[in-house]
Structure 1
Amino acid sequence: MRFVANARMYSVNSPAAAAWKELFGWLARETGVELDVIAHAFPLPLSDLWSRNDLACAFMCGYPFMLAARRPRPVAAPVPAGAPARGRPFYATRLLVRADSRFDTIEDTFGGRIGYTVADSHSGYNALRHHLLPYYQQRGARLYRQSVGPLTTPRRVLDALQAGDIDVGPLDSYALDLMLRHEADLSPKIRIVATTNPAPIPFLVAAAECPDGVVVRLREALATFGEAQACADLRDRLCLDGFAPVKIDDYQLMLRWDAAARAAGYAEPG
């Protein structure tokens, strides 16, 4: 049986997408699992990808995973070279403004327009809301005059910033690492004014129906990626140290953050 693979969440530009395709090619050779790398770009819903019964490898955010009534099977979690918890499969959300803006801190952006990705995103919604919650509780009122979204993808957050449609927007720290690695013109255009607390990163999943033998082979091969000599250049292009086992209990943090915001009456970041 042939299976499908997709790295849409971290195919943030053409060089990154090409590198992920190479990684899936390496994975297929190492495991003997036939993987077809498929396109599933915006505006196609990620939920359609995650629900495919022939799925062997696709990134899924931990927040929708924890909320799902029927979960796919965890395969492995990436360990970014620039992870906020060194050597662990963690990431954070960078809160970005335009480089030429007057904003130096997140507090400076209050009263303006904030962007968000989508309501079931951790980095672009749940973590953003968690970071802003103490300010909301202190003020007892909304922080921004407008919440702009769903912007859905990191690229569309950056586009909204550059177009002046938002004053501040959230970006997955690993996605931003990949963008900065391959886009020399990006760094002068943006500034980071805040970073959320670290959280466990989106991970590769397989369909709930994926055979045990296939999942085990994928996990075992990805566990060797960080040390494989032949993959050194690929690790550099993907800004990765390697892959780690998925620890589902770590992702309870996302549900706690969600519950705390809802209990405070702060359902939407803004």
Structure 2
Amino acid sequence: MAYIANARMYSVDAAAALAWRELFSWLSRASGVDLDIIDHAFPLPLSELWSRADLACVFMCGLPYSRAARPPRPVAAPVPAQAPIPGLPVYATYLVVPAVTKFLTLEDTFGGRLGYTVDGSHSGYNALRHHLLPYYRARRARLYRESIGPLYTPRRVIDALLSGDIDVGPLDSYALDLMLHHQPDLAPKLRIVAATDPAPIPFLVAAPDCAEDVVSRLQTTLATFASAPACAGLRDRLCLEAFTPVVAEDYHLMTRWDAEARIAGYPEPG
């Protein structure tokens, strides 16, 4: 049986997408699992991808995973080379503004236009709201005159920033690492004004009914990524140190943050 692999969440540009395809090709050869590397690009819904019965190695955000009635099987989590806690499979959300603006702090952006990705995203919505919650509690009022979204992807958040459609927006820190690595011309155009607390990063999943030996072979092979000579170039191109086992309980953090904001009467960022 052929299974599917997909890295849409971190295929932030053509160069990154090619590197992910090469990683999955290596993984298929080294593990002996027949992986069909598919495209499932925006605007196709991620929910359709995550519901497929032939999933074997597909990135999934921790928030929908933690909410799933029947969650998929964890395969492995990536460890970014620039993870906010070195050596751990975590990421953060950067609050970013255009470099040409006068905004130097997050507070400077209050009263402006806030962008967000989609309400099912941790980095682009849930973590953003969690970071803004103390300011909302202090003011007991909206922080921004307008919330603009869904923008869906990190690239579309950057496009909205650079076009002037929003004043500040959230970016998955690992996605930004990849974009800046492959598109260094973006660096002088953006300014990070704040970062959220770290959270467990999106990870590779298989379908709930995926065969145990398939998941095991993928996990065993991905555990060698950090030292495999064949992956030396991929480690650089994907800004990754390693893949590590998933601790599913860690992702409960995301539903706790969601519940905390809703109890406080702050159901959406803005």
Please state which band the TM-score falls in when normalised by the shorter chain.
Answer: over 0.9
Q: Which residue number corresponds to residue 184 of structure 2?
A: 184
Partner of 2:8: 8
Superposition deviation, residue 7 in structure 1? 0.2
The aligned counterpart of 2:253 is: 253
Which amino acid letter does the alignment assign opposite residue 42 of structure 2?
F
1:22-76 per-position Cα deviation (integer Å, ceiling 9, x unaligned):
0000000111111111010000000100011111111001011001111111100
4+ residue stretches of structure 1 with deviation over 6 A? none
Output the TM-score relative to the length of structure 2: 0.99
- Equivalence map 1:1-270=2 (5 Å): 1-270=1-270
Query: Following the alignment from structure 2 to structure 1, what is the Cα–Cα distance between the partners of residues 151 and 84?
Result: 25
What's the CA shift for 1:133? 0.2
Aligned to 1:75, the other structure's residue is in SS state strand
> Which structure 1 residue ranges, 5 or more long, are not aligned?
none
Q: Distance in 1 between matches of 2:54 and 2:199?
A: 29
How far apart are residue 255 of structure 1 and its match? 1.1
Q: Distance in 1 between matches of 2:130 and 2:94?
A: 13
Structure 2 distance, partners of 1:45, 1:145, is 29
In the TM superposition, what is the alpha-carbon distance from 1:202 to its structure 2 partner?
A: 0.2
Q: TM-score, normalised by structure 1?
A: 0.99
Deviation of the 1:193 alpha carbon: 0.3
In structure 2, C-alpha distance between the alignment counterparts of 1:43 and 1:154, rounded to whole Å: 13
Amino acid aligned to 2:261: A
Deviation at 1:87, TM superposition (A): 0.2
- What letter matches 1:163 in structure 2? S
Give, in angstroms, the shift of residue 240 of structure 1.
0.2
Listed one character per residue, the Cα deviations across residues 75-96 of structure 1 (whole Å, up to 9, x for unaligned) are: 0000000000110000000010
Alpha-carbon deviation of 1:229? 1.7
Q: How far apart are residue 252 of structure 1 and its match?
A: 1.1
Distance in 2 between residues matched to 1:67 and 1:115, nearest whole Å: 24
Distance, in Å, in 2 between the alignment partners of 1:74 and 1:47 is 16
Give the deviation of 1:163 after TM superposition: 1.0
Structure 1 residue 156: Cα displacement: 0.5
Unaligned 5+ segments in structure 2 are none
CA distance in 2, matches of 1:73, 1:118: 24
How far did residue 209 of structure 1 move?
A: 1.6
